[in-house]
Structure 1
Amino acid sequence: MENVKVRIGDQVFNTNKSLLSKECEYFRALYRSGMIECHQEEIHVKNLKAQGFVIMLSVARGERPILNRSEILEAIECAAFFQAKHLARHLQDLLNSDNCFVMYQGSSTYGLWRLREISAQFIRNMYRSLQEDLRNLPQELIEHVESLEPCEFVAVGSHSTCTAEELPLAATRTVCYLNEDEEDWKVLTALPIEASTSLAGLAVMDNQLYVVGGVHGVDMTVVDASFCYDVVSNTWSFLPGPRQPRYNFTLTGTEGCLYAIGGESAKKTMSSVEIYNAATKEWTSASPLPRPVAGVACAVAMSRIFVCLWKPMETNEIYEYVPKQDGWVLVSTLRKNQSYGHCLVAHRDNLYIIRNGPREDFLRCLMDCFNITTGQWTSMQGHYSNSKGALFTSVVRGDSVFTLNRTMTLEYLIAGNMWKPCKQMKGFPRNGSVWTFLLKIPKDRKEEITS
């Protein structure tokens, strides 16, 4: 491993060429160029602050530093100058309502375009809360945010497959979105007749909806067909199903890959995990869960996949999937009594475990918060009503959490150590289990059709 010194300002950093080439397109191009700098023991970088380089090296080592406003600006400048993709991705993970304007302006100034678009979309999603501060930005940046469409709260009920003859009787086989201005549900698209959302895996990744597997018929036959819905083109396409047919499993997506986690096959609970690469359209096997589990609680926080495994009646274990190791690592354990059911919700670098309380509190939810940065647990204040499993459908948008059941959609504001109810809208008129997620829907796709 060939060492090299990098001088930035009056500071000199001892590092190695392979690390720099791996992290930065700037150094990768430099060392491929054959220029005289390739053979120098020290490379001098001008017009850049050292703190950004320090942050870049820490991210390269696998650290995930939390940054203040000035550090964010220096990291943005460094990521843009060196074309450091991992640092740029880390900045995206840090985006929140406290730093979104710094991210947006900084990335616009230095040309970190992916971060710019994600920051602008974040601000648009929280427009009601942030519009006063938005006025302080240059007019060009304001207009760009206001030209975007916010992500919509979307829901679909639990439906089996149907035949063409049955289709006229299956009018509720639709994916719907909540029009928040009218406080009513509108039809987005109909499910393909071969698609099942009954005990299937559903996930949104890169603004596309994936429906994988599921069951049909009273004998719960596994559905082989899987589908992807492109909201922009308003089209459904087939995709290959997992190698191991499964149902009642968890599907989640991040970094261009879908993860099919656990579930059942032939009425047997499994621990197996498979990964679907959206670019290659192939499934590969991954390290199995520590034990078999169906319908596992799962969330993605800071681009990291976490699951919560419950050992009745009191033990909740948080595991993280580490791609570099292809393994599940025990992160923390929570021991508190509960009666049944739990859900995992991610907001910033916090994981919220939502579970039904023990004994007389079984109709109310208790929450505990685990911070993945500090490793600390916090008990949330109060009890939360969980009528018909509403909280188990929680979806986070910005600093809000959307939950729903047949009677109402309730928006919470995550504020400190509480979820505060802030808006109530129409419920989703479907029987059975409901899947919820977020999609960005183009303006010309919004048909005013009531569900």
Structure 2
Amino acid sequence: MQPVPGSVRLKVEQRVFTVGRRELSEGSDYFRALFASGMRESGQEEMVLPLLAARGFALTVRVLAGERPALSGEEEIGDAAECAAFLQAKPLSQHMVHCISPGNCALMLQAAAVYGLPELLHASALYIRDLHPDVRQELSYLAQDQLDYIESLSPSALVAMTTHSPSPQHLQDHSRTICYLDEADNVWRDLTWLPDPASTSLAGITVMDNNIYIVGGVDGVSKRVVPTNFCYNTDRDSWSEFPCGQHLRHNVALSGQDGSLIAIGGVCKGKVVATVERFHVASNSWSSVAPLPRPGEGVACTRAMGRTFVCLWFPMETTDIYEYGTQGDEWSLVTTLRRQQSYGHCMVSHVDNLYVMRNGPADDFLRCFIDCYSLTRDQWSSLSGYYVNSKGALFTATVRGDRVFTVNRMLTLVYHIQGDRWKPVKEAAGFPRSGSTHSFLLRLPKRRLATRHTTMNE
């Protein structure tokens, strides 16, 4: 059989793969250099790849084609790491980072150490660092240098803020503090103050590269959009400003990926819009990208396996989940769920699962029902029972490792993700501020944690 034009036949062990040259060149530094070398092999229509495992190369081909296969088991992870290193296939190594889970993080770390994948090694170590202490103790079989490296890293801290309009004062207003939960002492401690002109009211807030970004907050009941956006650099403990997009909007959803922010939907001049804009951090500039399939404000948004997902609720009993594809700059419908609800309030992810939280049904807003969508199995399931903390409804949730932190004013309730349910494991101090709460994770430098002793006051 003649090879497909523009393709090459590659024999790996006893299997033969026909893959496009452009696909290989764009996704692998090894093939890019080979095809540009001018050597005899560069023009061959067939070649043999010795030493690599067919299973690992099959995974490589799928990832280069845009698929996101799940990874499990020591041999599969080892084969994938070997191909990522030998072929210098960055998309594959990045996909492995996105596939790190409580069940495979130690295997990922060991494979990264064997095959020299520093990005995967670091990400695996960070993930292990965030797991609760009992699990870390069970990983004592890791090499001592690996354990030392894990312990040298800062764990993720739970951080929270509430809604604030710009402050006319020039003195620090303690109610405008952003705080982190000191889990050892079970107290919230001050991290930083919002700049006076900054607003978190109806703003898009996200964390990217361990920095906080705030976009589209409003000032007062007139909902005038604040004409400046703000970034908090965690390592430097400092704030900076960056420009607004082409369309001033509030109640936007904000997501960060690959060095860019994506501002999704919102309200512009009193009208709910489908506008989506991307902010390129390196160039400090905005550009328009593909709009949402339909207008939406306060859109629930999360990232899973390196992918961006949003929930669009319309009509009230319908939940559509869309994914934004950066390569094709397009939104694609992933799945639809129909459930009776009063309204939905957020979506979080854990490994390859998306959890959609909703209040209801009817006027029973203190009860929270959770539906889970598995990206791998393309299947919906409902978590058994319903979830409610004794002090009020679940309005914000943050996932760290295999734990979920739900925060409100009265308490922080921590769940352990176990199969088809979230099991409550402990309660911690609530975030004592009025208004809607935003929660997220930051890695605070150890040198700063050592010097911060200010406990949050009422």
For normalisation by structure 2, the TM-score amounts to 0.94
In 1, the alpha carbon distance for the partners of 2:9 and 2:292 equals 43
Residue in structure 2 matched with residue 197 of structure 1 by the alignment: 200
Give the conservation status (yes or no) of the 8 Å contact 1:390–1:404: no
Q: Which residue of 2 aligns with 1:398?
A: 401
Q: Which residue does 2:107 correspond to in 1? A: 102
Report percent identity of matched pairs. Answer: 48
Shift of 1:390: 5.2
The answer as to 2:251 corresponding to 1:248 is yes
Offset, 1:212: 1.3
In the alignment, is the contact (CA less than 8 A) between 1:255 and 1:303 conserved in 2?
no
CA distance in 2, matches of 1:309, 1:386: 26
**Alpha carbons of 1:291 and 1:17: their partners in 2 closer, same or farther (altered >3 Å)?**
closer
Matches within 5 A, 1:370-381: 370-381=373-384
- CA drift of 1:411 comes to 0.9
Q: Look up the match of 2:125.
A: 120
Please list, as runs of the form range in 1=range in 2, the aligned pairs for 1:331-342 lying within 5 A after superposition.
331-342=334-345
The residue that corresponds to 1:430 in the other structure is: 433
TM-aligned CA deviation for residue 32 of structure 1: 2.4
- Following superposition, the deviation at residue 221 of structure 1 comes to 1.3
Counterpart of 1:359 in 2: which secondary structure?
coil
Number of the residue aligned with 2:81: 76
RMSD of aligned residue pairs (Cα, Å):
1.6
Contact 2:81/2:111, CA 8 A, preserved across alignment: yes
Q: 2:365–2:393: 8 Å Cα contact kept in structure 1?
A: no
Q: CA deviation at 1:331?
A: 1.7
Matched, 1:45 2:49: yes
Confirm or deny that 1:307 pairs with 2:310.
Answer: yes
Aligned length: 449
2:91 maps to 86
Q: Which amino acid aligns with 1:81?
A: F
Counterpart residue number, 1:3:
7
* Partner Cα separation in structure 1 for residue 212 and residue 349 of structure 2: 19
Name which of 40, 61, 70 aligns with 2:65: 61
Structure 1 residues 369 and 275 mapped into 2: Cα distance closer, same or farther (>3 Å)?
A: same
| 1: CA distance, partners of 2:104 / 2:205 | 31
The correspondence for 1:213, drawn from 216, 228, 235, is 216
Alpha-carbon offset, residue 112 of structure 1: 0.7
Quote how far apart the aligned CAs of 1:237 are. 1.3
For the residue of structure 1 that corresponds to 2:395, the secondary structure is helix
Paired residues of 1:365 and 1:386 also in contact (CA < 8 A): no
**Counterpart Cα distance in 2 of 1:33 and 1:164:** 64
Q: Distance in 2 between matches of 1:190 and 1:147?
A: 28
Equivalent-residue separation in structure 1 for 2:389 and 2:187 (angstroms): 22
The answer for the alignment partner of 1:130 in structure 2 is 135
The alignment partner of 2:343 has SS state of: coil
Q: Does 1:449 align with 2:454?
A: yes
Code of the aligned partner of 2:65:
R
Mapping for residues 277-356 of structure 1, pairs under 5 Å: 277-356=280-359
* Partner deviation per Cα, 1:82-135 (whole Å, 9 max, x = no partner): 110111111112110111111000001101110100000000000414223220
Work out whether 1:227 is the aligned partner of 2:223.
no
2:37 matched to which residue of 1? Answer: 33
Residue 357 of structure 1, CA deviation: 1.7
What is the CA distance between 1:280 and its match in structure 2?
2.1
Query: Residue 52 of structure 1 contacts residue 77 of structure 1 at CA under 8 Å; is this kept in 2?
Result: yes
| Letter of the 2:370 counterpart | M
CA contact (8 A) 2:316 2:342 kept: yes
Q: Which amino acid aligns with 2:310?
A: V
Please state how far the C-alpha of 1:80 moved relative to its aligned partner: 0.8
Deviates more, 1:422-431 or 1:251-260: 251-260
- Give the conservation status (yes or no) of the 8 Å contact 2:265–2:295: yes
After superposition, the C-alpha distances for 1:394-418 in whole angstroms (9 at most, x for unaligned) are 0111111111111111111110110
Kindly state the Cα deviation for residue 36 of structure 1 after the two structures are TM-superposed.
3.0
Tell me the secondary structure at the aligned position of residue 366 of structure 1: strand
Q: What is the distance in 1 between the residues matched to 2:8 and 2:336?
A: 43
Q: CA deviation at 1:10?
A: 4.0
In structure 1, what is the Cα distance between the partners aligned to 2:7 and 2:206? 44
CA distance in 2 between partners of 1:377 and 1:185 (Å): 36
For 2:423, give the aligned amino acid. Answer: K
Could you say what secondary structure the match of 1:130 adopts?
helix
The AA in structure 1 aligned to 2:30 is Y
TM superposition shift of 1:386: 5.4
Counterpart CA distance in 1 for 2:438 and 2:122 is 27
3-state DSSP of counterpart to 1:172: helix
> What residue is the counterpart of 2:186 in the other structure?
183
* Farther-moved stretch of structure 1 (382-391 vs 404-413): 382-391
8 Å contact kept, 1:76–1:106: yes
Runs of 5+ in structure 2 lacking a partner? Answer: none
Change (3 A) 1:313 1:44: closer
| 1:115-159 deviation digits (Å, cap 9, x = unpaired) | 100000000000414223220011111111111110100011111
Equivalent-residue separation in structure 2 for 1:40 and 1:311 (angstroms)? 54
Contact 1:305 1:321 in 2 (8 A): yes
**1:150-204 CA distance string (max 9 Å, x none):** 0100011111112344x34x22211111111111111111111111111111100
Q: Provide the residue aligned with 2:361 in structure 1.
A: 358
On the 8 A contact 1:276/1:283 being kept in 2, the answer is: yes
CA apart distance, 1:264: 0.9
